[in-house]
Amino acid sequence: MAVKRKAKAAPAVIKGGTAKGAAEPQVSADALKRYYADMLLIRRFEERAGQMYGMGLIGGFCHLYIGQEAVVVGMQAALEEGDTVITTYRDHGHMLACGMDPKGVMAELTGRRGGYSHGKGGSMHMFSPEKNFFGGHGIVGAPVPIGTGLGFAHRYRDDGRISVTYFGDGAVNQGQVHESFNMASLWKLPIVYVIENNRYGMGTAITRASARTDLFHRGMASPASRSTAWTSSRCTRPGWPRPNTRAPARARSFSKC
């Protein structure tokens, strides 16, 4: 059974249900049960994958997502059909949350033809364009520029979708990550960067690797980049930055409009 994407029938957030001054939206009991079931599926899948890895039934690497289930399930609950997802090598939970078939993921882990990469990719290299999941990447930081490219594609196509780009705390100090942040801010690309900060990059504590450990600061755009930003002619996603009609000519040449 695949994790269900946000059900159309039962809205996750009760419309107008946010109490005045309350920090959190009201979520229906049905939605909460669904999120719990999604998290439980990921946990059970990972426990079994870990067991099979220990038995030598899974070749190559096998990075588990145990303890981080709520991150992807919560994010996924906020997405809409057509939004794209990309992540690192700790990816089984993201695949299940995107609605990929657990049997296909497990088949890939065990190197079978029925797996998402026909048994040739393994744990870190699975993709499903149908479910808008773009990997599964073994290189730390690599999904960030690719996810930024997905955001660019959404903007270029003007499809109102967003790119959700996940990566770990171990990637945040990389140059390509900062370049991506700058580009996304400069061009107002529809991307949500999700830093899954579990406070360690392999055995190295974040305090030993990062001068600043409150990582959300890395995404702060400079005021200068705001003033020169461009967007396409329309942003159909409510709440996303509106177009800058005084876009610089050179940047505008990238756009269809």
Ligand X SMILES: Cc1ncc(C[n+]2csc(CCOP(=O)(O)OP(=O)(O)O)c2C)c(N)n1
Which residues contact Mg ion by CB under 5 A? 168-170, 198, 200-201
- The interface partner of residue 171, options being Mg ion, ligand X, none and the CB cut-off 5 to 8 Å by kind, is ligand X
Based on the number of CB atoms within 10 Å of its own CB, is 143 exposed (0-12), middle (13-18) or buried (19 or more)?
buried
Least Å distance, CB 196 to ligand X, is 6
Cα Rg of the chain, angstroms:
19
- The interface partner of residue 139, options being Mg ion, ligand X, none and the CB cut-off 5 to 8 Å by kind, is ligand X
Q: Which residues, listed in sequence order, are joined to residue 191 by a DSSP beta bridge?
A: 163
The interface mask with ligand X, positions 89-108, x = CB under 6 A, is: -x------------------
* Residue number with CB closer to ligand X (57 or 139): 139
Question: Strands, DSSP E only, in 62-176?
Answer: 84-86, 163-168
The interface mask with ligand X, positions 158-197, x = CB under 6 A, is: ----------xxxx--------------------------
Q: How far is CA 66 from the centre of its chain?
A: 17
| 140 belongs to the binding site for ligand X (CB under 6 A) | yes
**Which residue stretch of 28-36, 69-77, 155-163, 200-208 sits at the interface with ligand X (rule: CB under 6 A)?**
200-208
* Residue number with CB closer to ligand X (208 or 250): 208
Q: Give the list of residues 6+ apart from residue 45 with CB closer than 8 angstroms, or none.
A: 92, 93, 96, 102, 105, 106
- Summarize as ranges the residues that interact with ligand X (CB under 6 A): 90, 138-141, 168-171, 198, 200-202
